Amino acid sequence: MEPGMEELMPRLLPVDDCDLAEDFDPTVPPRTPQEYLRRVQIEAARCPDVVVAQIDPKKLRKKQTVNISISGCQPAPEGYSPTLKWQQQQVANFSAVRQSLNKHRNHWQSQHLDSNVTMPKSEDEEGWKKFCLGERVYLETDALSDNENLGIDYIKVGFPPLLSIVSRMNQATVTSVLEYLISWFGEKKFTPELGRWLYALLACLEKPLLPEAHSLIRQLARRCSEVRILE
């Protein structure tokens, strides 16, 4: 080891110099603990100080596939298993939505929000549930009255995942809101408002996925499989 390297790379198991036989050959299997440790030292000394990986940038530009393990999901009941063609079509549609969102994110982010839209803070779980689902679903109240049907009260029915809204959400907020809604879905029934927001938030996730996103997708898949069994 070069002088000064000991300070930067302290030995985890310091080994004193030991006497080796004159016929010591580092190319043959070690016969004693001392020969083994000496062989490790020789191999470490031959390693370069800096190793640079040879990466082909062209390969990184190609379409990347993210595999999510969905272990623990309940199998579909007879007659409810989607066909391969249907699955492929959903993947194609979802991919198109993601690409369009990424392409036009800056444009929609610059659009002004309506005066009645006040986005909650990222850590405001209850605020986001009311914002996305509406007080009617959140408070589990009755359906809208006839007078209320004359106009849309987004406070009661929830704000839809407009592009001008979701484009303003950074990845931390997207992950947090996704966690809030999946947690809600774990105890409540599925609603169209919930479905629209789950789809939109999943489309907003950027690659490579963070471990938190992997966990949330698996959790959502397991919950969906539970709901499918009850149909």
pLDDT digits (tens, 9 = 90+) for 21-31: 777 787 888 88
Distance CA 11, CA 4 (A): 13
- Record the pTM: 0.66
**What is each CA distance from 139 to 91, 117, 123, 127, 136, in whole angstroms?**
34, 20, 20, 12, 6
Choose which CATH entry (3.40.50.80, 1.20.58.1070, 1.10.3720.10, 1.20.58.1610) describes domain 84-112+119-141+152-230.
1.20.58.1070
CA-wise closest residue to 213 among 185, 172, 162:
172
List the chain domain ranges: 84-112+119-141+152-230
Dihedral pair phi/psi, residue 86, rounded to 5°: -65, -45
pLDDT digits (tens, 9 = 90+) for 107-166: 888 888 888 889 999 999 999 999 999 988 888 875 555 445 546 788 888 899 999 999
Q: HSE on the CB side for 90, CA within 13 Å?
A: 7
